[in-house]
């Protein structure tokens, strides 16, 4: 082999001294001791069960010299040694809290013992389909410690695909949560037999249904060799079926050893403490091992929740909240993370709180590369590697290279760049990348021909054909140029379009289909051409049952025939033209139907898009994520459509969503009812709710609404409807109880209606009725709701619910249920969801900034009786101008309101000139279809930088909202709002409820009054004994005024801090600042 064809495996300077010929060296401090006592060797022949992996998969095969210094170390041995060494140090942080290494190691050992006791034999495959908590991290190590092979499966995998994975891997044991039962029933219906084990957080194991037969005698703990299979990851395959890639112990240990030497050890030395590594990858994706291997070095893995890991806002918040040092993400996600505050500007430069920002899965564009190379305090690494080479095989430090590159290989790996005749290419030449070394996988399960084609013979042993077109740079690094075959990266996933095509062709009513990647709106997408009479929404729904979401084509276009070239192959150019062409009669991105026009109107008012949305835009294009989907679903329901979050998420673009809306209207489709939550169920409370309870005086903390009634409705009928709401939504019939680990809500039966329902005598004022209704609430007595029937020309229902049981989003759900009841349909029962990802988030007790008027509000002594209220309305004209200015500047309205608060209260800035403004958000995941009613509010504090008194907006909105001015720091520039925290709060809180001018609840019976009308008539029932947490509370909403939007704000101010005249002055100033933002000149 020509030495010039081999890419140098070492980095300059710091990386010198490691060559491809050197064996894996595990540092002495990480070498496992005799953690499992005297062990008997037991043959592990996973290769015998899955012949076709070239014979190198068993322990008797000629193993690479990957672990000569490590003896017979297995991954689980190294993990248990790390656990013994690290002891009480934190191993994992998840939704349950902190989990020490001692606890982690004990859980792994306990689970391994249970697996062996229930008959797990050496080489047996075990499918891990667990949710994102500590258990999914325990499982692969425990399985390995018991001698088995872990088959990684994302818990969101459709039943058809899961059945195939179990059948092809031979897994007869599935480790999954209890809520996986329904999916597994569908899998068993396809003739796949297996046991369902549910592990606990301490490693105990119980079975749902029939358990596997217990071992007749104790099974000796096997000894794993470097070539012993450790895990299986399924990747996209050209046959329409995924391929199982088998990775041995030695490969992962080699991968980890590189990370320890080149990443973990340098970072820990620089920081001077144990590292925290964020985990945001799917657990069915091999990239999940990138953060997980940090456990082998004794560092902490911060496990992001399922919904948080795909939500840029929640990821950025988690980095700050948990103090994450290293985080791995995709280049596609990076701009969204930056938009939500991952990068902050300081001293004229961008800064990132991470010690190491790792990127992989996709190519980095040159502009992003240059931006990343300017980060002064963060090491940015670009990783490359196919699944077949164990997660990653090459890496490049961005700061060391002027342009994008995938750098050099990991320790002891070798890269070759060869032409189509397997000849080395000259420097600067293009060729296919071949990789060899100890990180190579063993092959593909049961696919000898595919294995032989991909893992080919080389001069020094096996090498893997990556199929990637690369260029050999003059400095010895590798530059990625694209794919030789048809595989593409979609949102960080390596996708084989033919897999989606095969499944599409198998659907009933599809004569022929082709799937390919194309570029739309600047993003790589998967598109499909189909010859079929089946409506596209039905095809999409059928694909969603069999394929993961990233494999479902974004756009599906019906055609008369598939375009072919002269060689009878797919005419890619013609197919791409069809996929990117406007829908006939639609005018490209223009709406073609009334539903499409309505949808675009709702989206535009939703404020998600900085410019007018097009009907071909996707939710990703519009930036709609965590908050947006639930909000959009609520708004569509308010516009009369019966839609669920899953329908929104399944739509490829807005045109698909509009078609789905039409389909649901035509079908009158209703979702299946969930089970009623039984009495005795404990519902967790968020940390914020527990803080409120700890302050005391919470009995009368409530939200209320007035609802129109039919003239002839009886008291019994009203009671029945309210009872139906409480049956569907258990918080409404719950009791506040004190548990060992804190307060919770215990579900009970709703008391008889005379306890909570009364009729007015017609003599009191609206404010009196509201006060009396709220006074009947008592959460500790199980009275979470109270009702007063108001007499008069129009009978109305005054409904008050304790805040522990309801929030703003909850009211949208309750109003929808009342509408259903009026239409003759029962409310939809809530579906169990578990503890929310936001359960541990609280704004803390530290108050930031200079005390307003020299005094901080103290919940221990300040009560709502000291509050004075002011209502400010901007008016339709100024509101429309403000909304237009925000849209032009791509500035969310809420951000404009936050900036106005900072301008109005510059005297609360801290020593650095930052004004802390706390904002509320509803805290629900984007695909939450559970219809949960409760209190899930999250408080986040925005640190507005600069000297607010110096801001000069200028003659029009171009001043403060000038995006270019943000970068150069010029006077009048819009401040950067990316610096945020969950650990402290400001003295001022703003709660922007949204665009209530868009929601159309109707004016008939069982319809709620608009927010502004309700507060105007009834006021707000703030019990004088409620503790105050903020000196100034501002609640805002855009409400309809004669068909036009008008911004309304209510100021609740602690008079022990500001007197009435000062409150008037601040409220007027706030309105004037917003008018300035809208381009309205004073006077």
DSSP per residue over 350-372, as a string? EE-S-SEEEE-SSPPPHHHHHHH
CA-based angle 433:435:440, to the nearest 5?
A: 145
Residue 521, both tokens: 């709106």
Of 695, 701, 707, 918, the C-alpha closest to 806 is 701
Give the pLDDT score at 610.
39
Rounded-to-integer distance, Cα 757 and Cα 790, Å: 11
Domain assignment present for residue 544? The answer is yes
Instruction: State the pLDDT confidence band at 521, using cuts at 50, 70 and 90.
Output: low
- Tell whether the model's pLDDT for residue 973 goes beyond 70: no
Q: Are 832 and 678 in contact (CB under 8 A)?
A: no
In tens, the pLDDT along 140-167 reads 999 999 999 999 999 989 999 999 999 9
Instruction: State the pLDDT confidence band at 837, using cuts at 50, 70 and 90.
Output: very low
CATH number at residue 195: 3.40.50.12780
Domain assignment present for residue 60? The answer is no
Domain assignment present for residue 48? The answer is no
pTM above 0.85, yes or no: no
What mean pLDDT value characterizes the chain? Answer: 82
| CA separation, residue 978 to residues 430, 619, 907 (Å) | 41, 22, 21
Rounded-to-integer distance, Cα 1039 and Cα 997, Å: 5
- Tell whether the model's pLDDT for residue 516 goes beyond 70: yes
- Tell whether the model's pLDDT for residue 294 goes beyond 90: yes
Of 873, 335, 993, 315, the C-alpha closest to 607 is 993
> What are the beta bridge partners of residue 173?
195
Q: Are 985 and 843 in contact (CB under 8 A)?
A: yes
Of 940, 833, 837, 809, the C-alpha closest to 308 is 837
Rounded-to-integer distance, Cα 344 and Cα 378, Å: 12
Domain assignment present for residue 827? The answer is yes
Rounded-to-integer distance, Cα 1004 and Cα 818, Å: 12
Can you say whether the dihedral through the CA atoms of 996, 1000, 1006, 1012 is positive or negative? positive
In tens, the pLDDT along 364-395 reads 878 889 999 999 999 999 999 999 999 999 99
Query: Between 881 and 921, where is the model more confident?
Result: 881
Of 865, 897, 875, the C-alpha closest to 1056 is 865
Residues 6+ apart with CB under 8 A from 338: 978
Q: Are 1050 and 1020 in contact (CB under 8 A)?
A: yes
Give the pLDDT score at 222.
63
Give the pLDDT score at 24.
42
Domain assignment present for residue 338? The answer is yes
- Count of domains forming the chain: 5
Residue 79, both tokens: 């993990």
Instruction: State the pLDDT confidence band at 5, using cuts at 50, 70 and 90.
Output: very low
Of 647, 681, 675, the C-alpha closest to 662 is 647
Give the pLDDT score at 565.
66
Query: Between 271 and 569, where is the model more confident?
Result: 271
Q: Which of 833, 868, 889 is the last residue of a domain?
A: 833
> What are the beta bridge partners of residue 480?
470
600 and 622 housed in the same domain: yes
| φ, ψ at 98 (rounded to 5°) | -95, 145
Rounded-to-integer distance, Cα 984 and Cα 980, Å: 10
Question: Which ranges of 535-625 would DSSP assign to H, the alpha helix?
Answer: 536-546, 572-580, 594-606, 619-622
Can you say whether the dihedral through the CA atoms of 651, 652, 658, 659 is positive or negative? negative
550 and 687 housed in the same domain: no
CATH number at residue 622: 1.10.1200
CATH number at residue 736: 3.30.559.10
Give the pLDDT score at 844.
58
- Tell whether the model's pLDDT for residue 8 goes beyond 80: no
Strand (E) or helix (H) holding 689: helix 687-695
Q: Taking residues 319-335, what's their average pLDDT?
A: 91
Lowest mean pLDDT among 64-78, 204-218, 252-266, 484-498: 64-78
Instruction: State the pLDDT confidence band at 954, using cuts at 50, 70 and 90.
Output: very low
Q: Taking residues 904-917, what's their average pLDDT?
A: 93
CATH number at residue 568: 3.30.300.30
445 and 515 housed in the same domain: no
- Tally the residues of the chain: 1083
Domain assignment present for residue 66? The answer is no
Q: Which of 816, 833, 850 is the last residue of a domain?
A: 833
Instruction: State the pLDDT confidence band at 673, using cuts at 50, 70 and 90.
Output: low
Residues 6+ apart with CB under 8 A from 34: none
- DSSP-based three-state secondary structure for 1007: coil
Instruction: State the pLDDT confidence band at 89, using cuts at 50, 70 and 90.
Output: very high
In tens, the pLDDT along 737-785 reads 998 778 999 999 999 999 999 999 888 899 999 999 999 999 999 999 9
Q: Looking only at Cα atoms, what is the longest distance across the chain?
A: 99
**Paired sense of beta strands 356-359 and 326-329, if any:** parallel
Lowest mean pLDDT among 254-258, 308-312, 643-647, 956-960: 956-960
Query: Between 470 and 634, where is the model more confident?
Result: 470
Cβ atoms within 10 A of the Cβ of 757, count? 21
Q: Which of 784, 802, 833 is the last residue of a domain?
A: 833
543 and 559 housed in the same domain: yes
Q: Where are the beta strands (DSSP E) in 638-784?
A: 682-684, 702-708, 734-739, 742-747, 757-759
CATH number at residue 850: 3.30.559.30
263 and 160 housed in the same domain: yes
How many CA atoms, within 13 angstroms, populate the side-chain half-sphere of residue 663?
A: 17
In tens, the pLDDT along 702-736 reads 999 999 999 889 999 999 999 999 999 999 999 99
331 and 449 housed in the same domain: yes
Cβ atoms within 10 A of the Cβ of 189, count? 10
Q: Taking residues 911-938, what's their average pLDDT?
A: 82
Rounded-to-integer distance, Cα 142 and Cα 113, Å: 8
Chain mean position to CA 269: 31
Owning domain of residue 186: 3-18+78-472
159 and 264 housed in the same domain: yes
Q: Taking residues 906-931, what's their average pLDDT?
A: 82
Residue 295, both tokens: 């456990």
Domain assignment present for residue 710? The answer is yes
Domain assignment present for residue 994? The answer is yes
Query: Between 302 and 58, where is the model more confident?
Result: 302
Can you say whether the dihedral through the CA atoms of 969, 973, 979, 985 is positive or negative? positive
- Tell whether the model's pLDDT for residue 173 goes beyond 60: yes
In tens, the pLDDT along 203-247 reads 999 999 888 877 665 555 666 688 899 999 998 765 668 899 999
329 and 438 housed in the same domain: yes
371 and 386 housed in the same domain: yes
Cβ atoms within 10 A of the Cβ of 35, count? 17
Cβ atoms within 10 A of the Cβ of 143, count? 28
Q: Which residue has the tokens 């088995």?
A: 148
- Tell whether the model's pLDDT for residue 425 goes beyond 70: yes
> What are the beta bridge partners of residue 944?
915
995 and 1022 housed in the same domain: yes
How many CA atoms, within 13 angstroms, populate the side-chain half-sphere of residue 362?
A: 21
375 and 403 housed in the same domain: yes
Lowest mean pLDDT among 175-189, 943-957, 969-983, 1055-1069: 943-957
Rounded-to-integer distance, Cα 920 and Cα 831, Å: 25
| CA separation, residue 328 to residues 116, 353, 561, 777 (Å) | 35, 14, 43, 48
In tens, the pLDDT along 611-652 reads 467 787 766 555 454 445 666 776 676 567 878 777 777 676
Adjacency order of strands within the sheet including 988-995? 867-873, 1044-1054, 1032-1041, 988-995, 915-921, 938-944, 980-981
In tens, the pLDDT along 544-594 reads 778 876 788 878 899 988 887 655 567 888 898 898 876 544 445 578 888
Residue 609, both tokens: 């898009």
| φ, ψ at 655 (rounded to 5°) | -65, -40
- DSSP-based three-state secondary structure for 657: helix
1001 and 1054 housed in the same domain: yes
Instruction: State the pLDDT confidence band at 967, using cuts at 50, 70 and 90.
Output: very low
């Amino acid at each position: 082999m020509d030495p010039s064809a081999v890419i140098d495996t070492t980095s300059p300077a710091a990386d010198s001294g490691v060559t491809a010929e050197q064996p894996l060296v595990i540092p002495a401090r990480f070498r496992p001791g005799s953690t499992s006592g005297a062990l008997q060797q037991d043959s592990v022949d996973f290769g015998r069960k899955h012949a076709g992996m070239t014979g190198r998969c068993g322990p008797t095969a000629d193993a690479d010299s990957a672990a000569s210094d490590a003896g017979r170390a297995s991954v689980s041995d190294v993990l248990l040694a790390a656990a013994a060494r690290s002891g009480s140090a934190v191993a994992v942080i998840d939704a349950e809290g902190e989990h020490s290494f001692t606890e982690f190691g004990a859980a792994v050992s306990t689970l391994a013992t249970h697996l062996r006791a229930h008959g797990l034999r050496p080489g047996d495959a075990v499918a891990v389909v667990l949710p994102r908590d500590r258990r999914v991290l325990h499982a692969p190590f425990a399985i390995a410690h018991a001698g088995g092979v872990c088959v990684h499966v994302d818990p969101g995998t459709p039943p058809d695909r899961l059945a195939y994975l179990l059948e092809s891997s031979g897994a007869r044991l599935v480790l999954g949560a209890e809520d996986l039962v329904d999916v597994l029933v569908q899998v068993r219906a396809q003739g796949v037999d297996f046991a369902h084990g549910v592990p606990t957080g301490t490693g105990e194991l119980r079975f749902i249904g029939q358990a596997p037969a217990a071992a007749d005698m104790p099974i000796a703990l096997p000894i794993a060799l470097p070539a012993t299979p450790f895990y299986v990851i399924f990747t996209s395959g050209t046959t329409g079926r995924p391929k199982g890639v088998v990775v041995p112990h030695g490969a992962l240990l080699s991968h980890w050893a590189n990370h320890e030497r080149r990443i973990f050890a340098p970072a820990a030395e620089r920081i001077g403490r144990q590292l925290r590594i964020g985990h945001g990858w799917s657990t069915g994706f091999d990239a999940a091992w990138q953060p997980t291997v940090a456990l082998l070095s004794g560092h902490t893995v911060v496990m992001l929740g399922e919904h948080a890991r795909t939500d840029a806002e929640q990821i950025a918040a988690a980095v700050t909240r948990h103090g994450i040092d290293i985080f791995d993400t995709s280049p596609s996600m990076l701009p969204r993370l930056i938009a939500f505050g991952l990068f902050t500007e300081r001293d004229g430069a961008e800064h990132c709180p991470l010690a190491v920002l790792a990127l992989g899965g996709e190519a980095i564009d040159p502009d992003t590369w240059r931006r990343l190379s300017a980060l002064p305090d963060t090491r940015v690494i670009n990783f490359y590697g196919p699944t077949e080479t164990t997660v990653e095989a090459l890496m490049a430090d961005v700061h060391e290279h002027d342009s994008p590159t995938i750098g050099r290989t990991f320790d002891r790996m070798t890269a070759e760049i060869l032409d189509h005749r397997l000849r080395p290419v000259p420097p600067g030449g293009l060729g296919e990348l071949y990789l060899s070394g100890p990180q190579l996988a063993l092959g593909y399960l049961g696919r000898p021909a595919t294995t032989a084609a991909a893992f080919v013979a080389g001069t020094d042993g096996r090498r893997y054909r990556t199929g990637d077109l690369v260029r050999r740079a003059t400095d010895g690094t590798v530059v990625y140029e694209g794919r030789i075959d048809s595989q593409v990266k979609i949102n960080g996933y390596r996708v084989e379009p033919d897999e989606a095509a095969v499944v599409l062709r198998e659907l009933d009513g599809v004569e022929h289909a082709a799937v390919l990647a194309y570029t739309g709106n600047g993003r790589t997408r998967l598109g499909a051409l189909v010859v079929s009479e089946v409506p596209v929404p039905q095809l999409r729904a059928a694909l969603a049952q069999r394929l993961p979401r990233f494999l479902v084509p974004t756009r599906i276009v019906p055609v008369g025939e598939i375009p072919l070239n002269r060689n009878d192959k797919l005419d890619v150019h013609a197919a791409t033209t069809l996929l990117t062409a406007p829908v006939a009669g639609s005018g490209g991105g223009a709406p073609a139907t009334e539903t499409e026009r309505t949808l675009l109107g709702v989206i535009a008012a939703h404020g998600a898009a900085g410019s007018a949305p097009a009907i071909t835009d996707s939710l990703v294009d519009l930036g709609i994520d965590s908050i947006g989907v639930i909000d959009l679903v609520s708004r569509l329901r308010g516009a009369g459509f019966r839609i669920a979050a899953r329908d929104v998420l399944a739509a490829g673009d807005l045109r698909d969503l509009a078609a789905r809306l039409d389909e649901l209207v035509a079908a009158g489709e209703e979702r299946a009812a969930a089970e009623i939550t039984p009495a005795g169920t404990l519902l967790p409370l968020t940390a914020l709710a527990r803080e409120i309870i700890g302050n005391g005086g919470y009995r009368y903390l409530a939200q209320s609404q007035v609802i129109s009634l039919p003239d002839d409705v009886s008291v019994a009928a009203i009671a029945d409807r309210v009872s139906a709401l409480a049956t569907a939504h258990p918080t409404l019939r719950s009791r506040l109880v004190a548990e060992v680990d804190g307060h919770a809500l215990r579900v009970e039966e709703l008391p008889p209606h005379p306890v909570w329902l009364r009729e007015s005598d017609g003599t009191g004022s609206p404010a009196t009725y509201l006060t009396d209704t709220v006074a009947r609430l008592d959460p500790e007595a199980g009275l979470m709701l109270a009702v007063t029937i108001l007499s008069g020309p129009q009978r109305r229902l005054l409904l008050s619910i304790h805040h522990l049981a309801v929030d703003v989003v909850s009211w949208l759900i309750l109003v929808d249920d009342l509408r259903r009841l009026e239409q003759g349909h029962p409310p939809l029962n809530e579906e169990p969801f578990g503890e929310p990802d936001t359960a541990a988030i609280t704004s803390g007790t530290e108050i930031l900034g200079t005390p307003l008027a020299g005094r901080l509000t103290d919940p221990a002594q300040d009560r709502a009786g000291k509050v004075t209220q002011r209502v400010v309305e901007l008016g339709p004209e100024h509101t429309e101008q403000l909304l237009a200015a925000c849209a032009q500047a791509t500035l969310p309205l809420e951000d404009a309101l936050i900036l106005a608060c900072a301008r109005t209260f510059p005297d609360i800035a801290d020593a650095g000139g930052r004004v802390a403004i706390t904002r509320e958000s509803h805290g629900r995941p984007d695909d939450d279809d559970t219809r949960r009613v409760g209190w899930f509010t999250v408080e986040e504090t925005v640190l507005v930088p600069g000297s607010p008194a110096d801001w000069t907006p200028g003659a029009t909105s171009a001043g403060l909202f000038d995006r270019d001015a943000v970068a150069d720091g010029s006077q009048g520039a819009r401040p950067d709002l990316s610096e945020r925290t969950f650990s402290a709060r400001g003295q001022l809180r703003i709660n922007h409820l949204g665009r209530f001018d868009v929601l159309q609840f109707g004016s008939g019976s069982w319809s709620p009054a608009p927010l502004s009308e309700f507060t105007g008539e009834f006021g707000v029932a703030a019990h004088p004994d409620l503790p105050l947490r903020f000196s100034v509370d501002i609640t805002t909403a855009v409400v309809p005024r004669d068909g036009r939007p008008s911004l309304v704000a209510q100021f609740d101010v602690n008079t022990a801090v500001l007197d009435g005249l000062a409150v008037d002055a601040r409220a007027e100033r706030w309105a004037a600042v917003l008018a300035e933002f809208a381009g309205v000149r004073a006077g």
